[in-house]
Amino acid sequence: MLTTPRKLVYCILVTLRYAQAIGVSVPFIAPANAPRVSGSLISLSLEQDRWTDWVGTTSKNDFFLNTLDNLLQLTGEPTQIRIGANSEDHTNFNPAIQFSQTTFPAVTSTVPYPEATNITVGNGYYQAVQFLPNGTHVIWGVNFGANNITAAFMETRAILQAFSSPAVRNAGIILDALEIGNEADLYPNNGLRVKGFSLAEYIQEWTTFASNVSATASISRTSHTKFWAGSFAGSSHSTSGFSPQALFSNGLLSSASGPLISTFSQHHYSGSFCSGSGGLLQDLMTKATIRSNLTIYAPDIIETRAKGLDYLLGETNSYSCHGAPGVSNTAGAALWTLDYALFAAQLNISRVYFHDGVGFKYNLIQPVTLTRSILDGSTLATPLAAHVQPQYYAAIIAGEAIGNSGTTQIAELSISNARLAGYAFFEHSRLARIILINSDAFFQGATSRPAIHVDFSFVGGTPDSQITVKRLNVGHADDVTGLKWGGQTYETPDGRVAGDLSVQTSTVAAGVDIQSTEVVMILFT
């Protein structure tokens, strides 16, 4: 019998759906070089012009605090908060101001929520840190861009005063580090220094500021609070230009403040696109892009760790312009966030601070009601209450995968498929969970949604035959709402989880199917 073309196509699609079966080998015992992974791997960098919108002024912002508490409950480790970024270099201090005074440029369709060009803050602005969850580690930036040491000094004094207040101390909130200036490698381009501003000049000015700031904030070899160094937008990966290698070879660590540096902070965005497309979303999610975007830092990480310093991505996210519309704010970006953070972890990047600002497209969280569209700045018919965006699910999934053992190690699984990434998580050196991410973008309007079948084999031991399977359910890669993790949603008025937990019990031998644009977690007992 002749099959109609339509039926034929259908048969081929159905065949393709199950065509791919992949065998994945999983170590049962943590490999010797598998890095420890922190429960706060996915942390936040906040644009400081609207810091009090995030946290609150005279009372806390419950929505934001709930979203942080959800994560804390999974790992026992509070999300770290870095406050600063571009507006850090446009901030001054005035004791007569209670919280902050800001001047914003005009709204445009590409930048619906611009950063303030001028921020003046008072003591209450820093004191608001008291509302963060108990035990939160904080990193705060002070102004270096304006080259006004009095501004940096007054900010530092106010930060110290806030962190030594009874309210902040009782809440166990800890100042891990101060950062002096944001992306100083861009100063010659953005007018904060003259053209040709060199790394040697940078080090000379930085050490002058650091000497004042460390004396003001009592930063010493024995204090907990230290400096983050770098916070550069890019890296030359060499001893010329701006990079950790160049800082070290030009004597930063042997300067008077050198021993007060704990960490090198690198900033990274996947690219600069102010308008989005499906192609761009697939590029962002693609396994090879994520790996090539991060492995370029491998030499920097090795050099930094060899000096005994920590290495992290202190500010990062998908695309500049505060995200590309229809890309950075989508479910596909949640898969990118998860793969990007987990891949960073196994490169020995100890933490990844996703940059968020009120109304930015690439946010994990929108902490306050928005009245303009984040996509084009148009006035919304109905104001949009505080809510989480798709990327928030990546933080939840990473938190669950890492857990609260305090011993978790991570290893990427070797999978010879351009769309499928996988990671094993070990507790007390034993396999505890696996995460699989299928980054093939399934778009609205597409008719077939292929799946990959994965069969596991184990090396060095055999897990229990029973497994639990939990899925991130995504309608389409370009959806902006409606994600469900194990059947549950975080898209609720108070940011708390809602809905019934839905997981499947299965056997290791059965393997798992994972469809395009899906995350699967396998839990071993």
Ligand X SMILES: *[C@@H]1O[C@H](CO)[C@@H](O)[C@H](O)[C@H]1NC(C)=O
Residues in contact with ligand X by the rule CB under 6 A: 33, 35, 92-93, 101, 118, 120, 134, 148-151, 153-154, 170-172, 212, 215-216, 270-271, 289, 292-293, 298, 302, 347-348
**Distances from the Cα of 344 to the Cα of 26, 236, 294, 301, 521, angstroms:** 20, 19, 7, 11, 19
Closest approach, Cβ 155 to ligand X, in A, equals 9
Q: Which residue has the tokens 């031998």?
A: 509
Nearer to ligand X, 3 or 103 (CB): 103
Q: Measured from the CB atom, is 304 or 389 closer to ligand X?
A: 304
**Smallest separation, CB 363 to ligand X (Å):** 20
- Least Å distance, CB 88 to ligand X, is 15
In the bound state with ligand X, the residue whose beta carbon lies nearer, of 148 and 189, is: 148
**Residue 85: CB minimum distance to ligand X, A:** 18
Quote the CA–CA distance of 492 and 33 in Å, as a whole number.
40
CB of 13 to ligand X, least distance (A): 29
Backbone angles phi, psi at 82, to 5 degrees: -100, 130
Question: What is the 3-state secondary structure of 253-293?
Answer: HHCCCHHHEEEEEEEEEEECCCCCCHHHHHHHHCHHHHHHH
Residue 255 or 270: which CB sits closer to ligand X?
A: 270
Nearer to ligand X, 110 or 118 (CB): 118
SS3 114: coil
Query: Which CB atom, from 154 or from 523, has the smaller least distance to ligand X?
Result: 154
Give me the least distance between CB of 294 and ligand X, in Å please: 9
- Going 340 to 345 to 347 to 348, the CA torsion angle's sign is positive
Backbone angles phi, psi at 316, to 5 degrees: -155, 160
Measured CA distances, 471 to 241, 285, 341, 490 (Å): 45, 18, 18, 15
Question: CA quadruple 353, 355, 361, 365: dihedral positive or negative?
Answer: positive
Residue given tokens 């857990």 in the structure block: 403
As measured in angstroms, the least distance from the Cβ of 93 to ligand X is 6
Nearest to ligand X of 25, 94 (CB atom): 94
472 with 393: CB under 8 angstroms?
Answer: yes
With vertex at residue 353, the alpha carbon angle to CA 321 and CA 102, rounded to the nearest 5 degrees, is: 55
